[in-house]
C-alpha cells in the first residue's frame, strides 16, 4: 500500500455497522455508522449493497481495500471466516482473513478477519470482533488479563501476545431477559438505568460473598422489596451488581494471581466495571471500545496491505 493510499475498516456487528476511512498511517479521516448489522443483512444478499452505500458516504476512493471484523464473518454472515484456535498470536490475526468475492462495482480487495475459538470440550468458547479489539489494545509482547464487558462479557488471558484462554459470561443478556421477562420485572424500574450507586455496590458485594448463590440472590431481590428492606427504584442497579459481581467472582477465581486488568469498554457500563473491579483492589486501565476496534482493524490492515 502506497502511503498516499487510503483504506476502509469496518466493525460489522450483530446489530450495527461502523466504518471508517483511514489514512495509510492509521488515522481516521471519516466515519459512517448505521443499524445494518448482521441480522439486518441476514441471508447474505444484502451485505454488498450496505457496504457500497457506506463506502460512498465515507468518500472512499474507488477500489480502496476494505477490512472487516465481527459477525459479518460468522456462518450466518456474509462469508464465513473460520475461527482461529487458541492459543493463537494476536498479531497473526490478519493471516486468517478471508477474501470476499464482491460485486464488480465494489472494486477493492475486501477481507474479513476471523473470530477465535477455544476448542476445549471442557470450556468451549468463541469470540468474533473482540479479538480485533484485543489486537488494538495490546503490544506484541503483552501478558495480562483483559475484560470486555457487554451482552456477552469476555475475560481473556494473554501471554506474550498470544490468547491462551478466555471465558464468556452472559451477564448483559441475562440482565435484559431477567428484567424484561421474569418476575423481577416487578422489581426493577424500567426507566432507571443501573448506575454506580450503593445498591449496585451492594449487589456486587452480595455476589462476591456468596458466589454460588446467584439464582437465590435473584429471588431475594424481589423478597427484599416485598418485605420492605429495599426499594423498587434500586432494583435495576442491584440486579446489575449481582450479575456483574457473579462474573467478577468467577473471573477472579480463575485468574486470582493477576492484579491488573485492561478494560475495553465505554460509557456507563465501563464506569460500572471500573467501580466493581477497583473495589476489589484491581488496577484497571480502560480503553474505549470503539477506538480498540478501529486500532485493531488498522493494525491488521497495515499488516495485509503494507505497514507504515
- Nearer Cβ to a copy of itself (5/165): 165
- Nearer Cβ to a copy of itself (133/171): 171
307 sits near a copy of itself (criterion: CB under 8 A): no
Residues in 85-124 at the binding interface with a copy of itself, rule: CB under 8 A: 117-119, 121, 123-124
3-state SS track over 94-156: HHHCEECCCCCCCCCCEEECCCEEECCCCCCEEECCHHHHHHHHCCCCCCEEEEECCCCEEEE
Span from 36-44, 94-102, 172-180, 191-199 in contact with a copy of itself (CB under 8 A):
172-180
Span from 1-9, 140-148, 226-234, 275-283 in contact with a copy of itself (CB under 8 A):
226-234
The SS3 of residue 307 is coil
137, 268 in Cβ contact below 8 A?
no
- Nearer Cβ to a copy of itself (9/41): 41
57 sits near a copy of itself (criterion: CB under 8 A): no
CA-to-CA dists, residue 126 to 60, 71, 166, 229, angstroms: 32, 12, 9, 40
249 sits near a copy of itself (criterion: CB under 8 A): yes
- Nearer Cβ to a copy of itself (198/285): 198
Span from 106-114, 190-198, 206-214, 269-277 in contact with a copy of itself (CB under 8 A):
206-214
Omega cis (within 30) before 87: yes
- Nearer Cβ to a copy of itself (99/120): 120
84 sits near a copy of itself (criterion: CB under 8 A): no
212 sits near a copy of itself (criterion: CB under 8 A): yes
Q: How far, rounded to the nearest angstrom, does the alpha carbon of residue 222 sit from its chain's CA centroid?
A: 31
Residues in 176-195 at the binding interface with a copy of itself, rule: CB under 8 A: 177-178, 180-183
Integer Cα distance of 42 and 60 in angstroms: 25
Burial of 162 (0-12, 13-18, 19+ CB in 10 A): middle
Q: How far is the CB of 276 from a copy of itself (least distance, A)?
A: 14
Per rule CB under 8 A, count of chain residues that contact a copy of itself: 43
Q: How far is the CB of 212 from a copy of itself (least distance, A)?
A: 4
Question: What are the E-state strand segments in the chain?
Answer: 6-12, 17-23, 28-34, 66-69, 84-85, 88-89, 98-99, 110-112, 116-118, 125-127, 144-148, 153-159, 162-169, 260-265, 283-288
59, 53 in Cβ contact below 8 A?
no
Q: Which residues bind a copy of itself (CB under 8 A)?
A: 117-119, 121, 123-126, 152, 167-171, 173-174, 177-178, 180-183, 210-216, 218-220, 223-224, 226-227, 229, 243, 246-247, 249-250, 253
Amino acid at each position: 500500500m502506497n502511503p498516499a493510499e487510503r483504506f476502509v475498516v469496518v466493525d460489522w456487528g450483530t446489530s450495527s455497522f461502523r466504518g471508517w476511512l483511514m489514512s495509510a498511517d492509521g488515522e481516521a479521516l471519516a466515519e459512517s455508522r448505521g443499524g445494518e448489522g448482521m441480522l439486518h443483512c441476514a441471508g447474505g444478499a444484502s451485505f454488498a449493497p450496505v457496504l457500497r452505500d457506506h463506502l460512498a458516504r465515507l468518500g472512499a476512493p474507488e477500489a480502496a481495500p476494505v477490512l472487516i471484523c465481527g459477525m459479518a464473518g460468522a456462518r450466518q454472515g456474509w462469508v464465513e471466516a473460520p475461527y482461529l484456535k487458541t492459543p493463537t498470536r494476536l498479531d497473526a490475526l490478519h493471516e486468517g482473513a478471508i477474501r470476499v468475492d464482491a460485486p464488480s462495482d465494489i472494486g477493492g480487495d475486501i477481507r474479513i478477519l476471523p473470530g477465535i475459538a477455544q476448542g476445549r470440550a471442557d470450556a468451549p468458547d468463541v469470540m468474533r470482533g473482540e479479538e480485533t479489539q484485543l489486537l488494538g489494545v495490546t503490544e506484541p509482547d503483552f501478558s495480562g488479563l483483559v475484560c470486555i464487558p457487554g451482552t456477552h462479557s469476555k475475560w481473556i488471558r494473554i501471554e506474550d501476545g498470544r490468547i491462551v484462554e478466555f471465558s464468556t459470561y452472559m451477564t448483559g443478556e441475562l440482565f435484559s431477559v431477567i428484567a424484561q421477562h421474569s418476575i423481577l420485572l416487578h422489581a426493577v424500574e424500567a426507566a432507571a438505568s443501573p448506575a454506580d450507586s450503593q445498591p449496585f455496590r451492594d449487589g456486587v458485594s452480595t455476589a462476591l460473598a456468596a458466589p454460588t448463590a446467584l439464582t437465590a440472590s435473584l429471588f431475594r431481590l424481589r423478597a427484599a422489596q416485598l418485605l420492605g428492606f429495599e426499594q423498587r427504584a434500586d432494583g435495576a442497579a442491584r440486579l446489575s451488581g449481582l450479575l456483574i459481581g457473579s462474573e467478577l467472582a468467577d473471573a477472579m477465581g480463575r485468574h486470582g494471581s493477576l492484579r491488573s486488568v485492561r478494560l475495553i469498554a465505554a460509557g456507563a457500563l465501563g464506569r460500572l466495571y471500573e467501580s466493581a473491579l477497583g473495589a476489589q483492589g484491581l488496577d484497571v486501565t480502560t480503553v474505549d471500545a470503539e477506538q480498540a476496534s478501529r486500532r485493531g482493524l488498522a493494525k491488521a490492515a497495515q499488516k495485509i496491505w503494507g505497514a507504515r
